[in-house]
Amino acid sequence: MHWFVLVILFLGFLINFADKSVVGLAPELLMGDLGLNYAQWGVIGSSFFWIFPVAAVFVGALTDKISPKKMIAFMLLAWTLLQFSGYIIGGFASFLLYRIFLGLAEGGYAPASLRLLFAYFPPAMRARVTTIFTAGSTVGAYAVAPLIVLLLQMVGWRHTFAILGLFSFVLLVVWVTVVPKKSPELAELAVKSDFVPKKKVTWSELYPVLLSRTSIFTLFVAFGFFCLSSWMQIWMPLYFLKVLQVSEMGMAYATLTVGGTSLIVSLSMATISDRIFKNTKSIRAGRVKVTGIGMFLAGLLIGSLYFTQSVAWAIIGITLAYGFSYLIVSTSHIIMCNQLPERTSTISGTIVAFQNVAAALCSLATGFIIQSTGSDNVAQGFQYSFLMISSIMVVVAILFMIFVHPDRKEEKSKSVDMEEAVSST
């Protein structure tokens, strides 16, 4: 059943990202139909993330108390209804509201899903499992791009929204009828209960974890990755169309190539991380160092796009940058949730919230950078955006590798647990 649950959650994440990425694949169509300029398009791109972080934290905290299955079912239903609301979008204001409410409905999906996955799979498999799960975002955002572009050309963007809504509804029916109501207990909590009686975790215990050096610099690295990720979702199609001068289907196939190939790279990085962790039992060696090196290389690759407008190198550079840096999507949850397993969904929600704040800020910043260079010099605006993203990724990667030492926290926690067990005995 655990692999089946992983497959269903993967498909849910695929739909999650296809829902929001369809906008990025139809920039000229939507901008022309709704009368939007580049600055407005940047606002539309970032608006999805305005409420998304709040939803991620709220649903994450709620999932630690309520069944993850129920929360996921509710979200799938909300996606279905929102996609059909595309028929009533008529301008900038209604489109803005649609994007805001979609962010609200999708914000808690990752925290709720990761709570289930961490319960079904042991720690030594979690980088690969989490990468497989989150790969649904890559497939939904990039690999299905040709299919979505074909639908957009055949039936228009409103009907395309509705078709995606139908997929959400089908997945909802499968989820409700097949997946068990009760999930296994987290392995960390099962081990801890052998030494120390279970207790309710208070917010006063959660705050030090979220404000620890490990959490802060892990969140900074997640910020760096999502600057790149949001640029790819909102601006990469326009970059291929306007700067590299490829056709719409050429853009779709370039997006497919980036998504498919980067998925292979990211799974390879996750496998390396899991193997090093399995051999060393060290979170720093298996998670922090591998993630930090990947992020640093990704920053350099994105920076290289400032110096060329080659279609081939754009595809190669973006593919490798995304694949190398994608590991933080998995390891951020592993590193931070390891500090307080009892609040896995709450911590995951905080991570997702922070990531999407980054996505909103970077998407908005890119829009104003491109607008400021003028409509006749769009290429220079995109070059400046590469410098911005590259600088952020390189800096946060260096800080992450210097300051994050999660194993020290774990060793201290084990010592305290043993002392409590001895004293209670």
CATH code of the domain in which 382 resides: 1.20.1250.20
Contact 55, 103 (CB under 8 A): yes
Is 344 part of a structural domain of the chain?
Answer: yes
Range of the domain at 223: 2-186+207-411
In this structure, are residues 19 and 164 in contact, taking their beta carbons and an 8 Å threshold?
A: yes
Give a yes or no: residue 220 inside a domain. yes
The answer as to whether 307 is a domain residue is yes
The model carries a pTM of 0.72
User: Residue 250 falls within a domain, yes or no?
Assistant: yes
How many separate domains does the chain show? Answer: 1
pLDDT tens string, the chain, 425 residues long: the values are: 678 889 999 999 889 888 877 887 787 788 888 888 877 887 887 787 778 778 888 887 787 777 788 889 999 999 999 999 989 888 888 999 999 999 888 888 888 888 888 888 887 787 888 888 877 777 776 777 788 888 988 998 889 999 999 999 999 999 989 887 776 666 555 544 444 444 555 667 778 888 899 999 999 999 999 899 889 888 898 899 989 999 888 888 888 888 888 889 999 999 999 999 999 989 999 999 999 999 999 999 999 999 998 999 999 999 999 999 999 988 998 899 888 877 777 788 788 778 777 877 888 888 889 888 887 788 999 999 999 999 999 999 999 999 999 876 554 544 444 344 434 44
In 3D space, the residue among 284, 271, 269 whose CA is nearest the CA of residue 335 turns out to be: 284
DSSP string, 372-417: HT-GGGHHHHHHHHHHHHHHHHHHHHHHHHHH--HHHHHHHHHHHH
Within-domain flag for 422:
no
In a domain, 199, yes or no: no
In a domain, 418, yes or no: no
Nearest to 411 by CA among 307, 338, 317: 338
Residue 197, domain member (yes or no): no
